[in-house]
Structure formats: C-alpha cells, structure tokens
Amino acid sequence: MALAQDPVYKVHEILYKIGDDPSWSSVQLDDSDWTRKPPIMEDGRILWYRYNIEILNAPEELRQYGVQLEAYGEYELFWDGVLIAKNGNPGQESELSPEGELWVTYSIPAHLSDSGNHVLALRASLLHFPDHTRIFEFDIGYYDDLLTKGLIENAYMHMFAGAFLIVSLYFLFLFISNRKAYSTLVFSICCLLVFGLVLTVFSREYLPMHYSLHVIRLQVISVLLLGISFLIPFYFSMQFPFPHQKWYLIVYGGILLVMVFIKPHAFGLKSIVAVSCTWVFSFGIVVYGAYKKVKGARLVIVTLLLSMAIFAGIGFVVSLYAGLGLILLGMLYLLSMRIRDQQLAYEESLVQSTRLQLELLKKNIQPHFLLNTLTSLIDWVEEAPKKGVLFIEALAREFELFNRIEDKMLIPIDQEIELCRSHLEIMAYRKEINYSWEDEGIENDQTIPPAVIHTLLENGITHSLPLADNSIKFKLIYESNDEFKSYTFLTFATIAKQSSVLEEGTGTKYIKARLTESYGDRWEFDSQPVEHGWKNTLKIHSEEK
Amino acid sequence: MKVLIIEDESRIAKRVERLTRDILGSNLNSLTVINTLQDGLSFIETNTLDVVLLDLNLNGEDGFDLLARTVSGAFHTIVVSANTNQALRAFEYGVLDFVPKPFNRDRLEQAFNRIVSEHKEKSHEVKYLSVKKRHTIQLVPIEDVIYIKGAGAYSELIIQDGIKELHDKSLEKLEQLLSPQFIRIHKSYLVKMSEVKEVKVSSGSKYLAVLKNGESIPIGRTKYKELREKWI
C-alpha cells in the first residue's frame, strides 16, 4: 500500500549514549565516543540516540518532510539541534503518569531539510521496557504522504474486517436458528476472531497507545491468532472427518497452548509457527477429505495452495491476511455447499413423505384388495344380504379410518389398533376364517407411524393358513424402558409354503421408510418365522444417547 | 368336464364353485377347490383335468412363472383375477380366458363357452406356448412355430431350424387357442397360414400344402373346401 516513491533520505549511522547533555542534539557534536550497539537499560535513566541522516533531495516548494517513528519510551525529538517534538516526559516516567504515543509522525521544519547531512536525536527514557532501545520503524518522507499512507492501508483493512464481521454475524444467526449446526457456529467465531485480529493490528493509526501497553497488545493479537489457528483445522475436521479426529485435535490444541507459554516475547516467530501449523494440519485434513472424495475438498486444496503461494511470494504479513481471507473463502464455500445439500435433503424428505402418503392411500384402493373385497361383497349380497350390509359397514369403517390418518406422520396407537381390527373384520368376511386380535401392555399415549402394524397384519393374513380350528390369532405386545420402546407382533397360524425365496416386499419397504421418516436411524425391525407362526419385532430407541 | 379351482379366498372360491356347478350342470364330472397355489400345482401333476380356474396375483415376475407352469398342462387355463392390467400378458402366455374380478355368472359362462364352442372367434393373440422340459418350463415363441402335428393326446410343435417340441395340450385345444393365425388343414395338422407357400394338387386328388421351408403337409378333403372358401 506504500506510495511508490524513491527514498528521500539515507541513514548513515545510528549511535547511542547513556547520559544526558542538551548539546548532544547538535549537528556539530563530536560523537566518536558514542556506541553503535543499543545498550540495555536497567531503569528510567536518560539515553540519547543520534541518527546521522543524509537528505537526498530537498522537499518540493510548499511541501514539508516529516518523520514517522515506532520508538519505545518517552522522548524528546531534535532535528539538527532544534526540538521538534515532545512525546512524553523522558526521565520523569516514574513520577508522572504515562504520556506520549508509540506510533507518531512529526513534521520537519522546511528550512532545515535541505539536501545534505542532518542529525535526528532522541532524548529518551524507557522505564517500562528498558531492553527496547531501538527505533522499530523509521521513515522520512513528505509529511502528508506519511499520514495518508497509513490511513489508506487502514481503510482497506477495515473493509476486509467488516466483511468478516458481517459474515460472522450472518452465520451466528444461522446457528441461532439451527442450534445443531455447530459448523456454522465455529465458522462464525472464526470470522469474528479474524475481525478482531485485523482491528487490533490496524487500529494504531487512530487509537493512541502508550508504549507500556505494547506487550498487552501483542498478547491480544497472539491469542486471537491462536484461536484462529485452532478453529480453522477444527472446522475442516468437521467438514472432512478423519479417524481419531478427537485425539489429533487435542494434541494440536496442546501444541498451540504450549506455544503461548514458551518464549513469551517472541511474538513474531510464534505467529509464523502458529500459522504454519494451521496450514499444514488443515492441508492434511483437506487432502484426506479429497482422498475420501468428499465434495468440495479439491477446491479447498486449491485455496490452501494459493495461500501458500502468496506466503512464499509476498511475505508473512500480507500473506497472513490474504491467506486467511482465502482459507475463510474456502470454508465459506464448503458451508454454502453443505447448506445446499441440506436443502436438497429436506426437499427429498418432503418428496419421500408425499410418496409415503400416496403409498398409504394406495393400500386401500389397490386392485388386489379392492376388487377381491368387492367380489366377496357381491357374493354376500347375493347369498346373505343382511351379512352383506354388515360387510359394507366394516368396509366403510376401514375407509373412514384411513381417511383420518392418511396425512399424518404419527398416529395414536389405539387408532392403529382400531384400523387393524376393522381390517380383520373385512378379511373375516372374505376368507371366512375366525380371526382374533389381542393386545397387551398398550399405552394409549404412544404414537406410531400410520399403517405400520396394519401392514404387518396384511402380511400375516397373506402368508398364513388357519390352524386346525379354522382360526388365526394376532397379538400385539408393547414394552418400554428407559432405553427403548418395542412392539412385538405375533401371528399364531400355519405358515404357507413359499414358492420362492422371500424378497423384501413393498410392505416391508413401506414400514422401513415410515420408521426412518419418524425416527431417523433409531429403530430396528426384525421379522422371522417361529414355531407358532410369525414374529415381528419393532424397536424404537430413546432419543438421548 | 373335470374342473379345478385354485383360489385362496374362501368366499370367492365358494362363489366360483357355485356358479361353475350352475353353468356346467350335468356336464360337470368332478370339481375340486384348493386354496393354495402349491397344493394346486401338485394336484395338477397327478390328476387329469379339462380346465383350471386360477386366481393368481400376477403382480411381479413370480406370478408369470407360475402361470407358465400352469398353461403348459394338457388342460385349458382360465385366470380369475383382480389384476386386470395384466390380462393382455396372460393371454400372450396362452390362457383361454381372463375373467376380471368382480365377476358375475354371465362372464364366467362366457369363459366356459370358449372351451366347448366350435365357433372360433378371434381371441387375443398368444405369443408363447409353454413347454414342459425335464425340470423347467420353456416358453416357445409362437412366431417361431411353423406347424403343429397331432400325436395322440399330445402335440408336436415343429419350430424353425427343424427343432421339435412336445406339448401337453391336444391339437383341438391348441386350435382353440391359436385360431385364426393357425388353421387346421388336416385332422393331424395345425399350420400357421403365413408359412404356407402354395397348395398343390397331386395325383388321386390329393392336396398338399407346400411350406416355405420346402416341407409338404397333407390337406384333408373336407378341410380343403373350407380353406378354399377362406383363402381363395
């Protein structure tokens, strides 16, 4: 973001001396006894810096040079022996309250900035960080350019941060509306941390800060960075699950935590290591995802490689934000894909529900049932009209019951039993077999998907022959405990020989689809021949696990 | 007439039985009702029958395998079923009639009439003849059959490429099923008319049908007249 401009100055020498003498700011001073190595201070004593500077070009007319500094301590600034700025109270730090800022820009008087040699001198004390005897950033240029350069960079970075804030809030709301979608929460926090990081780093142009707060600021930055470093791979591991995921994440989190405590002041190094760890771990996860052919993994690999290319090509600070931006874009892409998949799955489930409703409806009007019933009915009407009427009433009852349940996902168990009983009544007229029904332990407040037991009953009727006394008995037993509820449906009959191997009939498919619709994968269904006939078991596990 | 009813719903079975007795009257020699397909099929193996009234759930291939087994027998098969959408396919397999449920006396009588009727009304086109092999049932496509020769109670199907297969049904029963595509030109021969190339008169007023494959088949004297009326 720096304005392309040839440097207007050259620093020939930087010299230090502990002690205090007003003449030390002078251009003509003989500074041969000054030291080149920044001395380590032990207290709030005064220390002088001398920068021997050559101005290469004098400023244009009406313009003025300025000097921009990131220097620790409180100091007075002299240019060619003239005091040009006072940043705090050097030597009086322990007595007075903190004063002065860490990042400053001062103007250099125009009449003192002709081309040639000049001296910039600092009279400083560093009570809070006596080992920071250095000017960390130093620049001379046109005063107004120095001021605007930082502001422009800040403006861009704040826009960048703003984008993350909006995305973060958006995904936070998504999470609030769907509390089970933890990945949206993780993503939201991740974006919020990036927002915080960018704001902390780039607020220095307008947020005055005393140099004593400098370490706290760096600690805030590294905590934010470590949070991001953990959350990015964590998020990827949610999208691309891999074996022993929990342990890897615990170990990774442990490594990051250890980094907080070792070398507490090597912030720059630590942030490079943390970001590299993030990258390597994330890359591993995403490559595993691509190997497992998880959708979207390849595109995320591309964004990761791109961020690495920027890192290698441009350097750490720029690539940190560009890389974070890219990685978060990759994460955003994954999320949007997941959301689309969820939408599709939801639509699919709607279609499935409609299909099941139709299936239920069809049960009652399928030709095999309806036409056989009508054939029997004609015969009853012709041969025994009074019984025929009872038959019609039973048929009407079953139709009416079906009508009541056709659009429900779950119905009360007693309604289901009523349906079964009316079906048995109809079948008794058709087959002239003595059907009987028993139930045991039924709790009336229980519900069940419609026509599930009814379907088992139909199967039982189709595949059984009556016992010697021309009877078939059906029995429904309900049991429940903390872990599951179960229905056992028994047929007491002679099982008809099968002409071929029993395939999964439409009836069984219907039952399974209905159970999945209402209970997800929390159910078991088993159906097998037993000594007395047939046994079906339906188990629904409790939700809490 | 010897009749077998295979129907698993007792009320409907009783109805079919009652109506059959009523329709056939003294023509009925024996009538058996069986309520499972398995028992019915084993009854068919061991008994001589004229007609089987079959309730078959024809949904799914399974139903048609069983149908193929039934129609390979020497008797006629009448399907009585609720699956009316499968009627055409049942006819292709060579059932004599398909009585859709619910049915009345008239409809059942109409089916029985087909057995005794001399009148050869145009029925649905049969596409296969099912032939009993040692362990399996084979479906012979009608389009491959050139002519059929009577062999006592059985018939011999003469198929393209000189292959011959024995079929359990008599020539009379096959004529009922295959008319008018096939014509009885002799008391022992039923010929697919599209296979006849020319009719030759040989010495002694003997008539011969020359087929496209070069074979010649005798034409009965009385049949020749019928043939001439219809085809010339």
Boundary of a domain, candidates A146, A165, A181: A146
> Do the beta carbons of residue A133 and residue A41 sit within 8 Å?
yes
Q: How far is A430 from chain B (nearest CA, A)?
A: 5
Q: What is the pLDDT of residue A501?
A: 45
Does pLDDT of B114 surpass 60? yes
CA neighbor of A442 nearest in space, from A421, A463, A470, A413: A413
| Residue A118 and residue A68 share a domain | yes
Which of B 89-118 lie inside 8 A of A, CB atoms? 100-104
Residues of A in Cβ contact (< 8 Å) with B14: 379
| Mean per-residue pLDDT, B192-196 | 86
Cβ contact, residue pair B37, A499, below 8 Å: yes
Does pLDDT of B61 surpass 80? no
pLDDT tier at A1 (50, 70, 90 boundaries)?
A: very low
Q: How far is A360 from chain B (nearest CA, A)?
A: 18
Q: What is the pLDDT of residue B232?
A: 60
Q: What is the CA radius of gyration of chain B?
A: 19
| Residue A319 and residue A253 share a domain | yes
How many Cβ atoms sit within 10 Å of the Cβ of residue A478?
Answer: 17
> Do the beta carbons of residue A135 and residue A49 sit within 8 Å?
yes
Least confident of B9-23, B112-126, B186-200: B112-126
Least confident of B26-40, B59-73, B211-225: B59-73
Nearest residue on chain A to B60, alpha-carbon basis: A505
> Do the beta carbons of residue B77 and residue B71 sit within 8 Å?
yes
| Residue A139 and residue A154 share a domain | no
Boundary of a domain, candidates A95, A114, A146: A146
Residues of B in Cβ contact (< 8 Å) with A368: 57, 59, 82-83
| Residue A160 and residue A129 share a domain | no
As a whole number of angstroms, the distance between CA A450 and CA A436 comes to 21
Q: What is the pLDDT of residue A313?
A: 77
Does pLDDT of A24 surpass 70? yes
Q: What percent of chain A has pLDDT over 70?
A: 96
pLDDT tier at B121 (50, 70, 90 boundaries)?
A: low
Of residues B56 and B215, the one with the higher pLDDT is: B215
Residues of B in Cβ contact (< 8 Å) with A431: 8-11
A376 at the B interface (CB within 8 A)?
yes
Please state which CATH number belongs to domain B128-231: 2.40.50.1020
Of B38, B57, B104, the CB nearest to A497: B38
| Residue A142 and residue A152 share a domain | no
Integer angstrom CA distances of residue A384 from A369, A378, B11, B21, B105? 21, 10, 12, 19, 17
| Residue A141 and residue A205 share a domain | no
> Cis link prior to B102 (omega < 30° from 0)?
yes
A371 at the B interface (CB within 8 A)?
yes
Of B9, B57, B62, the CB nearest to A500: B62
pLDDT tier at A448 (50, 70, 90 boundaries)?
A: very high
| Residue A456 and residue A330 share a domain | no
A444 at the B interface (CB within 8 A)?
no
Residues of A in Cβ contact (< 8 Å) with B104: 378
Please state which CATH number belongs to domain B2-116: 3.40.50.2300
Does pLDDT of A435 surpass 80? yes
Does pLDDT of A465 surpass 50? yes
| Residue A125 and residue A223 share a domain | no
pLDDT tier at B216 (50, 70, 90 boundaries)?
A: confident
Integer angstrom CA distances of residue A338 from A163, A179, A348, A494? 21, 15, 15, 52
Cβ contact, residue pair A376, B9, below 8 Å: yes
Residue type, position A82, single letter = V
With respect to residue A445, please indicate whether it lies within any of the assigned structural domains.
yes
With respect to residue A230, please indicate whether it lies within any of the assigned structural domains.
yes
Q: What percent of chain B has pLDDT over 70?
A: 94
Boundary of a domain, candidates A343, A376, A400: A343
A433 at the B interface (CB within 8 A)?
yes
Nearest residue on chain B to A502, alpha-carbon basis: B62
A449, HSE (Cβ side, Cα atoms, 13 Å): 23
Domain span including residue A104 = 9-146
CATH number of the domain that A478 lies in? 3.30.565.10
Q: Which of B6, B7, B9, B85 to mutate to test binding with chain A, by most A CBs within 10 Å of its CB?
A: B9
pLDDT digits (tens, 9 = 90+) for B133-159: 877 888 888 888 999 998 888 898 988
Q: Which two tokens stand for residue A176?
A: 């609030």
| Residue A326 and residue A188 share a domain | yes
Q: How far is A518 from chain B (nearest CA, A)?
A: 29
Q: How far is B86 from chain A (nearest CA, A)?
A: 11
Q: Which two tokens stand for residue A208?
A: 């005055």
As a whole number of angstroms, the distance between CA A399 and CA A417 comes to 14
Q: How far is B29 from chain A (nearest CA, A)?
A: 25
pLDDT digits (tens, 9 = 90+) for A189-245: 999 999 999 999 888 888 888 988 888 888 898 889 889 999 999 988 988 888 898
Q: How far is B76 from chain A (nearest CA, A)?
A: 22
| Residue A533 and residue A439 share a domain | yes
Residues of A in Cβ contact (< 8 Å) with B101: 371-372, 374-375
| Mean per-residue pLDDT, A139-156 | 89
| Mean per-residue pLDDT, B37-55 | 87
| Mean per-residue pLDDT, B197-214 | 83
Q: What is the pLDDT of residue A440?
A: 93
Does pLDDT of B60 surpass 80? no
Cβ contact, residue pair B15, A379, below 8 Å: yes
Of residues A437 and A262, the one with the higher pLDDT is: A437
With respect to residue A376, please indicate whether it lies within any of the assigned structural domains.
no
| Residue A170 and residue A109 share a domain | no
| Mean per-residue pLDDT, B156-168 | 87
Q: What is the pLDDT of residue A185?
A: 92
Nearest residue on chain A to B55, alpha-carbon basis: A372
Q: What is the pLDDT of residue A500?
A: 46
Of B11, B57, B59, the CB nearest to A376: B11
Cβ contact, residue pair A499, B38, below 8 Å: yes
Q: What percent of chain A has pLDDT over 90?
A: 40
**How many angstroms separate the first and last alpha carbons of chain B?**
38
Rounded to whole angstroms, the maximal C-alpha distance in chain B is: 63
Integer angstrom CA distances of residue B37 from A66, A116, A150? 106, 117, 92
Nearest residue on chain B to A462, alpha-carbon basis: B8
| Mean per-residue pLDDT, A360-369 | 78
Does pLDDT of B219 surpass 70? yes
Does pLDDT of A318 surpass 80? no
Cβ contact, residue pair A370, B57, below 8 Å: no
CA neighbor of B127 nearest in space, from B62, B55, B61, B177: B177
Least confident of A322-326, A511-515, B226-230: B226-230
pLDDT digits (tens, 9 = 90+) for A477-529: 999 998 899 999 999 998 776 544 455 677 888 898 899 888 988 999 998 88
Bridge pairing between strands B2-6 and B30-34: parallel
Number of domains in chain A: 3
With respect to residue A359, please indicate whether it lies within any of the assigned structural domains.
no
Q: What is the pLDDT of residue A2?
A: 42
Instruction: For chain B, give the mean pLDDT.
Output: 85
| Mean per-residue pLDDT, A292-313 | 84
pLDDT digits (tens, 9 = 90+) for A191-200: 999 999 999 9
* β-pair partners for A535: A490, A528
Does pLDDT of A292 surpass 80? yes
Query: Domain extents for chain B?
Result: 2-116, 128-231
Q: What is the pLDDT of residue A144?
A: 92
Q: What is the pLDDT of residue A75?
A: 93
pLDDT tier at A83 (50, 70, 90 boundaries)?
A: very high
Quote the DSSP letter at residue B26: G
With respect to residue A362, please indicate whether it lies within any of the assigned structural domains.
no
Of A375, A496, A497, the CB nearest to B101: A375
With respect to residue A534, please indicate whether it lies within any of the assigned structural domains.
yes
Does pLDDT of A449 surpass 80? yes
Q: Which two tokens stand for residue B230?
A: 């219809």
pLDDT tier at A65 (50, 70, 90 boundaries)?
A: very high
Q: What is the 3-state secondary structure (H, E, C) of A388-402?
A: HHHHHHHHHHHHHHH
Does pLDDT of A400 surpass 60? yes
pTM exceeds 0.90: no
Nearest residue on chain B to A501, alpha-carbon basis: B62
Cβ contact, residue pair B102, A431, below 8 Å: no
| Residue A485 and residue A468 share a domain | yes
- Taking one residue from A and the other from B, the number of pairs with CB-CB distance under 8 angstroms is 64
With respect to residue A118, please indicate whether it lies within any of the assigned structural domains.
yes
Residues of A in Cβ contact (< 8 Å) with B85: 367
Instruction: For chain A, give the mean pLDDT.
Output: 87
